[in-house]
Amino acid sequence: MDQQHSLQVQGLGASYGPRVVLAEVDFTLPQSGVTALLGPAGTGKSTLLRTLAGLNAVNPRFRSWGQVVYCAHPLRMPLSADGVQALPRLVQQHARLMRANTLDALIEKARQSESRAPLQWRTWVTEQLQHYGFAELAQVLDKSTMLLSAVQQRAVAILREAWARPAVLMVDEPTADLDGYEAFLLLDLIKQIGQHSSVLLVTHHQQHAQAAAQQMLLLAGGQIQEAAAMAAFTQRPLSAAGQQFLRTGSCAVPMPGTPLNELADDVLPPPPLPAAALAAIAEFSDLPASSAAVSEVVTSSKLEPVLPASTSVSAPEPALSQPAAVASSGLSSAARYQPRTVNAAVLMEMQPLLAAENAVPASRGPNGFSWLVPGRLAGTPWPGVVHGMDADLKALNRCGVTMLITLTEKDFPQDALARNGLKNFHLPVYDHEPPTVAQMQMLLARMSAALRRGEVLAVHCLAGLGRTGTVLAAWLVREGLTAEEALRRVRLIDAQYVQSEAQEALLYEFENALLQKMA
């Protein structure tokens, strides 16, 4: 590995318990510019970013392997965001950020390495906002970030990390659910940041990737399938996976470790798991490290199978890796795989919740209100946190909500609920923390029973982001999504859902608990 790149990754893998998500990932990033990380949904893009940022280390079932060199310094594995070593930075939305005023949120990272008087900070921020195309934020520096528009909140989250000048800044789906002009503003901001840092941008929108990025990586099947200049990739992709992805937005590359009986006839099996992956998942199975990986699979179309990964790649080239070769060997581990049966009663309890035909648009609800399942299940901030309590409760009534799921330490005032014809169920959860797996199972069972009675539910905490997003994502896991895909789905609704590493870790633990229940 040389010193011409900001980040060099070789053989990086990641697993959650017995499920391998990334097998062997190889790539490099230049010292500046924007690189788009592309790939089908649920293939581990967010896992890759969080692993590089050291945010997955808090999950006791998470394991990683491989080599990472950052700013010419080899990093100690596993990567952990404990401040001991510098790591790539991942843009995140925290509940603390939402409670801060805009000025404090913007300068929190920069003032860790720079010292200025308060008036000097305000002047500096105003100049920087003008330079980056968000001059209007200078007029709301004393305003809570919770009251900003979605595009302004995302700009604040990006700028606060960028102003700390990390060598690598990672941004996950920044333009999700934004209209064309707002998306353009953020893409232009990201391109400007790429002039002095290397930006790794995850986006499902190919046009956005083409507009912002100079380089691209295609992640599928637990490895990088293609790496090239963005212009060259869009004109003539070299790999079969790249050609299919450019044409359809997806590609038929199986997740690592997918057993033969789960593959379509025209799909080649993935290569065997590398030794490091086998050693990692051996901790969570009865098999020795040298044996093949075994996973639990749901044999029902209602639930997506959660499978371990097994993909190997060739050694990386400096700068850009070559298209991954598709292996046709390594059938022994898949051939030995025997799927476990599933308890039918469990599947019946997890039938997907269907949207109501007469669902009222979320725009008629209070500020921050969003449907997870239109007309049936929603998330919202504490009624009264922005406008009057009764006004927000009436807005919830307009949307058809009949019952609140209250997650704050203190219960919601019962007299206010009664005045507006509402009721609630209260599960106290500390801010920034998740409930236990047992509490989550109990809560979702209560919610399911209420929905069967015809109730329309709105989950809320204070800001309606961390604890609320965690419960909504857990609902999707309960319906059969992986924790990673559930996180991606809820963050397409609101990019700020699920605020802490502990909350994310709970979702993976909850997923594993469901798999054990179905075994």
Query: Both ends of the chain: CA-CA distance in Å?
Result: 44
Closest CA to 59 of 276, 256, 284: 284
Closest CA to 490 of 180, 93, 201: 93
Specify whether the CB–CB gap between 499 and 491 falls below 8 A.
Answer: no
Closest CA to 95 of 144, 158, 137, 141: 144
User: Three-state SS for 98?
Assistant: helix
Asked whether the CA dihedral 279, 281, 287, 290 is positive or negative, the reply is: negative
Specify whether the CB–CB gap between 223 and 45 falls below 8 A.
Answer: no
Please report where in the chains the tokens 């992805």 appear, as a residue: 245
In the 8-state DSSP scheme, what is residue 144?
A: B
Single-letter residue type at 18: P
Specify whether the CB–CB gap between 270 and 310 falls below 8 A.
Answer: yes
Asked whether the CA dihedral 193, 87, 170, 113 is positive or negative, the reply is: negative
Beta strand segments in 457-517, E: 457-460
User: Three-state SS for 13?
Assistant: strand
Please report where in the chains the tokens 């490099």 appear, as a residue: 28
Across 417-455, b (16+ Cβ under 10 Å) vs e yields beebebebbebebebeebbebeebbebbeebbebbeeeb
Closest CA to 29 of 13, 56, 48, 55: 48
User: Three-state SS for 346?
Assistant: helix
Residue 457, beta-bridge partner list? 377, 403
Cα angle 137, 174, 370; round to 5: 85
Q: And the tokens for 403?
A: 């019952």
Specify whether the CB–CB gap between 145 and 156 falls below 8 A.
Answer: yes
Cα angle 207, 374, 517; round to 5: 95
Distance CA 298, CA 259 (A): 12
Query: Which residues are tagged catalytic?
Result: 461
User: Three-state SS for 9?
Assistant: strand
